[in-house]
Structure 1
């Protein structure tokens, strides 16, 4: 056995380095957001000027609207597909392990690869539209990726394809953890499969729903590489998200102060999702302790 001091020596230094790294750079980025920094960091305090500039910009307005559309569509579609797959796999079908592996496989693919492949599939000249028209349906159209009004939904589709297997795994684990006595009691009462899932299983796994939604929402806010590979933020700026605005301000336009302000606003969006979840977890622990 390892000596206790050796265990602490192995465990704590990396943790401390990570904490200092995260807190240090978050603090530094926050400070830069209150300065007039461009290509080179400055130390002059300009108050909320950068935040006002970012919030008043058309890019940030469109990015925020797209974030709402993408977040809503992605979370709803991914949750629905994941839950459906979990319920189907829970029927103890043959080749369950093979199907579960296939559904989980997209999670092993990087978001850059996902975006690139879906950009090919959705490209009107080489993808699905060309394939269907080649089969004789000349009037078929599926050119969302080049349509300003529909392009954001291509990101929803690609994101849901990527994450549905992850949602399925969590839901399936939750379903399989439901007490067997609840199933037996429902069957004795004459409940069919649909009613058992609706009245017994789904209410029992509602904490899983909360966890899945929070994880998907925080992924939504941080999404960058999927959009970059799939649409590049286009057509024009039709699929801009906050992360792409940060990248554009910092690394393409050299506006370090404004880019830092946009990054801090992204952090606030993320905290708006995570803090209520942490509060919910603590409340649930206290409630279980009182009734335990």
Structure 2
């Protein structure tokens, strides 16, 4: 009995296989299509809509009477916006810088294979598991002059001790730095520690054979190898600083007055809660511009290094 296929059936077999292969290729796209469509609409679509609103005189409800860049001009003439922008520079600079230094230092310490490394790593990383609301509330208790650190130290007999940053308009923004560094430095430590553990030990041993001290090895050999980690940490921390809202609301409420306002809290308290949607949208677009100003150079650097690597 012959088992060979007829010419017609032999011709149909490749067609069936090719159709099956095409269907297999399209299944992942079909599965991901709803998520992609939702992301495009609710993320990028609303970003475009926010930009459109920033060009209108919208107040309580959206209005499409275009006024050009009048909302941006009004924003630039607002003293409270400049206070928020200045606070962002101070808060963001100190937050990113201290987290990088502290995180790298803790990572180097743990990289020495000290005892109880796992426990210490968990302790340092634990604050990142908390929300910024919880962090803000806890630090508000600790920094409250009447029941926090100041009251505790004075209870020990040091009556002249003063730590009233929380109610001092000139120092309130620095309480945000303290709380944010406490929460995020452990996360930076984890990033650096992962990078350190990925470096080939032979490089460090070769430097030691050449007589280099341990601090010089980390400064001249190890840290330059961690440039991608540094870039990633800076980008993530800067993004956290620009969009910080819940920490400010929970810790200082933007006060005293609006001394510790950041752009995110300005956008909410001064614009949207006062029925100024157009002004709030303009401030939101400037915040987006700040994020892009950090993200685009980072992506350009990464693509350039890969192209020349």
TM bracket, shorter-chain basis: over 0.9
* Equivalent residue for 1:58, pick from 69, 75, 79: 79
CA offsets 1:207-250 (integer angstroms, 9 cap, x no match): 21121111111111111100110000001110010001110234
Equivalents in 2 of 1:57, 1:251: separation in Å? 15
Unaligned runs of 5+ in 2: 1-22
Counterpart of 2:177 in 1: which secondary structure?
helix
Residue 204 (structure 2) aligns with = 183
Matched, 1:38 2:51: no
Pick which of 244-253 and 225-234 moved more. Answer: 244-253
- CA drift at 1:4: 5.0
* Equivalent residue for 1:144, pick from 142, 155, 165: 165
Equivalents in 2 of 1:129, 1:145: separation in Å? 11
* Equivalent residue for 2:252, pick from 209, 231, 235: 231
Residue 115 (structure 2) aligns with = 94
Residue 272 (structure 1) aligns with = 293
Equivalents in 2 of 1:249, 1:13: separation in Å? 36
Matched, 1:204 2:225: yes
Residue 155 (structure 1) aligns with = 176
Equivalents in 2 of 1:249, 1:37: separation in Å? 14
Equivalents in 1 of 2:170, 2:270: separation in Å? 24
Bigger radius of gyration? 2
* Equivalent residue for 1:114, pick from 125, 135, 143: 135
- CA drift at 1:6: 4.0
Q: Is the 8 A contact 1:70 1:155 kept in 2?
A: yes
Matched, 1:242 2:246: no
CA offsets 1:60-102 (integer angstroms, 9 cap, x no match): 1101100110011101111111011001000101111111111
- CA drift at 1:192: 2.1
Unaligned runs of 5+ in 1: none
TM-score, normalization: structure 1? 0.95
Instruction: Count residues with an aligned counterpart.
Output: 287
TM-score, normalization: structure 2? 0.90
**Mapping for residues 119-134 of structure 1, pairs under 5 Å:** 119-134=140-155
Residue 106 (structure 2) aligns with = 85
- CA drift at 1:3: 5.4
Give me the CA root mean square deviation: 1.3
Equivalents in 2 of 1:163, 1:93: separation in Å? 22
- CA drift at 1:5: 4.3
Q: Is the 8 A contact 1:115 1:229 kept in 2?
A: yes
* Equivalent residue for 1:221, pick from 227, 230, 242: 242
Equivalents in 2 of 1:198, 1:47: separation in Å? 51
